[in-house]
Amino acid sequence: MIDAAQNQAGASRSLGFLLEALNLHADKAAVLAYQAQGVRQMSCRQLHDLACGLAAGLRKQGIRQHERVIILAHNSPEWLVACLAVIAAGAVAVPVDVQLEDTVLAHLLADSQAVCVFTESEQVERLRRLSPGSDLSVFLLDGHEDGRRHWRQHLVEEWRPLPSLAGDDTALLFYTSGTTRLPKGVPLSHANIAFELQAIAALGLLGPGDRVLVPLPLHHIYPFVAGMLLPLLLGAPVVFPSSLTGPQLMRALKEAQVTAIVGVPRLYRALYSGIVSQAEARGCLAGWVVKAAIALCAWLRRLRLRPGKVLLWPLHRRIGPRLRLLACGGAALDPDLAWKLEGIGWGVAIGYGLTETSPLLTAKPPGDLRFSSVGRAIPGVEIRIDPAAIPAEEGVESAAAGEARMEGEIQARGPNVFGGYHHLPEETGQAFAGQGWFKTGDLGFIDHSGRLTITGRLSSMIVTESGKNIQPDTVEAAYASCPEIREIGVLQKDRRLVAVIVPDADVLGTGQDVRRALRLAVREQSGRLPSYKRLADYVASGEPLPRTRLGKLQRHLLKERYDQLKAGQTPNSGGPVRLEAMSDQDRALLGNALARQVWDLLVRRYPGRRLSPDTSPQLELDVDSLEWLNLTLAIRQETGAELREEAIGRVASVRDLLQEATKAGCSGKVSGGIDFLDNPEAVLDQASRKWLRPLGRSWSWLAWLVFMPVRLAMAGMFRLQVAGLENLPGRGAFVLTPNHVSYLDPFALAAALGYRRLRHMYWGGWTGAAFSTPLRRGLSRLAQVMPIDPDQAVMSSLAFGASVLKRGQGLIWFPEGGRSPDGQLKPFKPGIGILLEHFDVPVVPVVIRGTFEALPLHRHVPRPHRVTVTFGEPLSPTALEVEGEGPDAPTRIATALQQRVAKMISRLRSR
């Protein structure tokens, strides 16, 4: 057990001393709130006077002591005013997440029995809908100040005297973050918070000269206490970024001269990834140098040296020259990431606690480099381990240092521990072990130095059929080490270990082999684990796993997600996510008019689909390579933004798509941009255009020398027979569309056409075969083959075909997109329909027979077999569009053309 310090000072105090501290700091800045344009500032005296004036106004409106007042709004100076006013009035402040689902918000409105709510204009109608017939008073924190409901209309100039506040009075009612079915109300007294503030201040992490960036929503107890109340008490300004986008965070860090951040692991992971990504954007060498420098500084930091501030000074100057402290809570911080952040030159402080403990129980200050632990108990708090909470098998283990350790449930006692859940006496009784010991539900052990290490969560422990106790996060960490896996949530289903996996589209790409690559990665990683930790099954999810705003995995939702995906259903189907349910970052993104246009286009284009910024276009909207082409064309027509293939290649989510469209619009690639069908060569870079240049005289002779052995081989070994050559147009643009069953098909077709015709024709050749080696690229140049990539470069591939037809030349195009594995005709890709709809040139169906028998998919050496090439009658794209079926003209043309080729094959077989 960690012995409690006997310092109980402040344990019975109220938060009135916080208002006194604000008055004492007077003209010092209390809050800096960055907006899209400019920054708003409020001094400590202004905050004090406004809070006291509004507190008097609330009393005048009939708000009495102990009544609950909800604050449903985004971080802002007005949020602080409202919260402090409610506390000063003797009422109970209830901070609530604006992103709550309607069912949860309705529960909170009813459970809290709130009489008043401070909110924003966009929430008013929602509140009316969720609380019909109630007497809930609504005060607005935004909008025009002359509005009847605006909070400033209720300020009272003469605000003395305010009610006296007692330490055991409830000051705040927080609701748990939602890792359970319905959030539970956690009342915290003035004494709980006062003690916590005094204990954290005694740690010396912050001082009056600091400036604290708070990117987290204040409805969580961790940023509320450590990021808002503590800085205000010390006279250190609180800094709110305008949004959580990288540029806005960087702006706030630099302009506000931030010295400390109150954040969570996901924020710091994104910060580090952003540093590496920016370096890699300047080139592979630059990325390698930055990562190597950080690794070196992290290694030296393990030796108690701190060279990062000097060696990486350009990085500090770019991000925030005064930034020194990264406070981390809310979830476990990866030790490897912590070392990297320390290596860069920042001090990393870690805290552990719960909403029920106000929140801090333990703290690891920056000088303590034991990142596997969460530090020692703060003064005045006792912590003990109850090994009886878990089976004896896991109760005693051997620690890394060799000493025995006792592992069990972490229990805590101290002035910061709450008295019980709101309106839930049964749950309250289950939460305490007697004599004031609160059962945290977390598992861990205390080492010989008094440091606490968290090993898991009691409620999430999985007991296998063999009796093994498994913490799912250890299994998740093992599988998450695979680069192919972005996120994973492990659960137990029918006594088996299963998982919901979010693949990493950046690693796996967007082709047809994504699922196969993921399956191989899971299988390979399973082989490295003990049998009882291996997954028996998994499902792939295109959406991120459900998490709280602080990044905690909501495990109770995993089973539903798993069952839905296993049944082939889309989780949370039913249209686009509500704007108010999005993060501040995504709301800011959709504040851009162009991004909002693209979002509205997606909503119309994919009706009934679950659509959120995290939705994967590839996995959840079934956007394949050709649909990307159609979608980008629709975006250009709708917004004028021109999305190129390199931008599409960076898109792994709807959020990425909105950002890329915004960049394209801002860079001037708007209406009047390139039409890849009308001006195809403008889409192609200089290296690509060389494949369209005619062969010179010397190259033509070399091409003839290569062609002659091909013709002789086809005539001799394969006894080539040709029919229907009279159907070929004499001059002008036209298209040949042969079936494709073998690598011999191009050679048979070339021999059937003859060298003279071939000199005026171009081929579409798959990059994976015709351009895979220098020799093949050289032969492709002689044969006038253009590089076609139907999976990754549809626009440029079709631009090659459009260039040929626009020049009035012949085009040979394999419309199936690849070889048939069984010799049967495959569906035609709509790409051929796009070309034919635009150019309306004759199209000649071609049937090649015998090549599959001579060189099928699995053989590498051909065998002699008769080959025939039959040219059908020229067809009109207009007539094909009338014949075909499909939602658009290109699809109708492609399907009708495929049916014509199928009929030719059937007739030839019947002869």
What's the average model confidence in pLDDT over 393-415? 65
**702-723: burial string, b at 16+ Cβ within 10 Å, e else:** ebeeebeebbebbeeebebebe
In this predicted structure, what is the pLDDT of residue 9? 40
Tokens of 706: 């290569």
Mean pLDDT across 316-340: 92
Predicted confidence at residue 790, as pLDDT, reads 59
> Does the pLDDT of residue 333 top 50, yes or no?
yes
At 222-234, the pLDDT tens digits run 999 999 999 999 9
Task: Please write the tens of the pLDDT for every residue from 827-883.
Answer: 888 788 888 988 989 999 999 999 999 998 777 889 999 999 999 999 999 999 999
Report which of residues 394 and 688 the model is more confident about.
688
- Report the pLDDT value the prediction gives residue 509, as an integer from 0 to 100: 58
* pLDDT exceeds cutoff 50 at 399: no
For 744-787, the pLDDT digits (tens) are: 999 999 999 999 899 889 998 877 677 778 888 888 888 899 88
Q: Which residue reads 């952040």 in tokens?
A: 341
Round the average pLDDT of the chain to a whole number and report it.
85
Place of tokens 């569009």: 881
Q: Is 602 helix (H, G, I), strand (E, B) or coil?
A: helix
The amino acid at residue 40 is R
CA distance 563 to 552: 21
User: Locate tokens 């047809």: which residue?
Assistant: 512
What pairing do the DSSP bridges indicate for beta strands 868-871 and 810-812?
unpaired
Q: What SS3 string covers 93-145?
A: EEEECCCCCHHHHHHHHHHHCCCEEEECHHHHHHHHHHCCCCCCEEEECCCCC
E strand segments, 14-105: 29-34, 39-43, 68-72, 92-96
pLDDT digits (tens, 9 = 90+) for 453-504: 998 888 888 877 666 788 888 898 889 888 888 889 999 888 788 999 988 8
Cα distances from 206 to residues 236, 260, 655, in angstroms, run 8, 8, 36
720 Ramachandran zone, left/alpha/beta (phi>0; psi -120 to 50) = beta
Using alpha carbons only, what angle is made at residue 706 by residues 704 and 711, rounded to the nearest 5 degrees? Answer: 85
In angstroms, how far is CA 338 from the centroid of its own chain? 21
User: Tell me, what's the pLDDT at 394?
Assistant: 44
Cβ atoms 81, 93 nearer than 8 A: no
Amino acid at 232: L
pLDDT at 466: 65
Tokens for 174?
């927080």
Pairing between strand 485-493 and 469-470? unpaired
DSSP code for 402: S
Q: Are 69 and 114 contacting, i.e. CB atoms less than 8 angstroms apart?
A: yes
More confident residue, 404 or 348: 348
Task: Please check the confidence at residue 252 and state whether its pLDDT lies above 50.
Answer: yes
Cis peptide bond prior to 161, omega within 30° of 0: yes
pLDDT for 46 beyond 90: yes
The span from the CA of 657 to the CA of 659, in Å, is 5
Give me 251's structure tokens. Answer: 């702006």
Q: Rounded CA gap, 476 and 904, in Å? A: 55
> What CA–CA distance (Å, rounded) separates 838 from 799?
12
pLDDT in tens, 415-461: 999 999 999 999 999 999 989 999 999 999 999 999 999 988 888 88
What tens digit of pLDDT does each residue of 678-723 get?
777 776 777 778 888 888 888 889 989 989 999 999 999 999 999 9
Q: Which three-class secondary structure string do you get for 328-366? A: ECCCCCCHHHHHHHHHHCCEEEEEEECHHHCCEEEEECC
Whether the CB-CB separation of 392 and 18 falls below 8 Å is answered with: no
The percentage of the chain sitting over the pLDDT mark of 70, rounded to a whole number, equals 89
Q: What is the mean pLDDT of residues 150-179?
A: 84
Phi, then psi, of 58 in degrees rounded to 5: -65, -40
Q: CA 851, CA 453: separation in Å to the nearest integer?
A: 67
Helix axes 593-605, 625-639, angle to 10 degrees: 130
N-to-C CA span, the chain: 91
Q: What is the pLDDT of residues 669-680, one digit of tens each?
A: 333 334 667 777
| pLDDT value of position 577 | 78
Task: Give me 781's structure tokens.
Answer: 């140049």
Dist CA 212 CA 228 (whole Å): 9
Q: Give the integer Cα–Cα distance in Å for 750 and 748.
A: 6
pLDDT greater at residue 274 or residue 769 = 274
Q: What is the DSSP letter of 494?
A: T
What ranges in 667-793 are assigned the alpha helix state H? Answer: 686-689, 697-716, 745-753, 755-758, 767-770, 774-782
Give the total residue count for the chain: 911
CA–CA dist 473, 488 (Å, integer): 9
* β-sheet bridge partners, residue 187: 173
What's the rounded mean pLDDT across residues 27-51?
Answer: 92
Q: How far is CA 879 from the centre of its chain?
A: 46
Residue 646 clears pLDDT 80, i.e. is over it: no
Q: Return the pLDDT at 395.
A: 40
Q: Using 50, 70 and 90 to split pLDDT, how confident is the model at 901?
A: very high
Tell me the β-bridge partners of 497: 492
pLDDT in the model for residue 6: 35
pLDDT at residue 574 in the model = 57
Look up residue 276 and give its two tokens.
Answer: 């590496």
What pLDDT, in 10s, does the model give residues 820-837? Answer: 888 889 888 878 888 898
Distance CA(681)–CA(635), nearest Å, equals 21
The pLDDT of 28-42, averaged and rounded, is 91
Torsion angle of alpha carbons 616, 621, 624, 626, nearest 10°? -130
